[in-house]
Amino acid sequence: MLAPSIARGLRERNLDAVAVLELRLQGSSDASLIQIGRKTRRVIATKNVRDFRKLQNQSFADGDGHFGLILIASDVDCSRASTGRLVSMLARIAEDHPGDDDLRNRELWL
């Protein structure tokens, strides 16, 4: 859900990260993105807090869950100028939660 430059920055730190645009999934529904995240065992980072919190609750009700949500507050700058800062923040989360299931069914906030 973030710029490909952020995913590239994370990969430069040897973290497995992809952006929606890199996967050519732009325009996909949020529900399909959370399903893809579940199937591929990926944490989703997004500024779309309202919709993804609803989807999170629905995934719990369905018994499916997810592999983690990193919710980015509306006041967090996601402009090109802040790419390095965002990469550092996301890398820190990955370092603090190295296991595949460490963020399963959890949400963290930036």
Is residue 66 within 8 Å of 38, Cβ to Cβ?
Answer: yes
Contact 87, 6 (CB under 8 A): yes
pLDDT digits (tens, 9 = 90+) for 9-59: 999 999 999 999 999 999 999 999 999 999 999 999 999 999 999 999 999
State the pLDDT at residue 67. Answer: 95
The tens digit of pLDDT for each residue in 58-101 reads: 999 998 999 999 999 999 999 999 999 999 999 999 999 999 99
Give 3-state DSSP helix, strand, coil % of the chain, rounded to 5. 45, 10, 45
pTM of the predicted model, to two decimals?
A: 0.92
Q: Is the pLDDT of residue 3 over 90?
A: yes
Q: Check whether 1 has a pLDDT greater than 80.
A: no
Cα four-point dihedral sign 63, 23, 107, 16: positive
Q: What is the pLDDT of residue 41?
A: 95
Q: Where are the domains of the chain?
A: 4-109
Element (H, E) at 107: strand 107-109
pLDDT of residue 39: 94
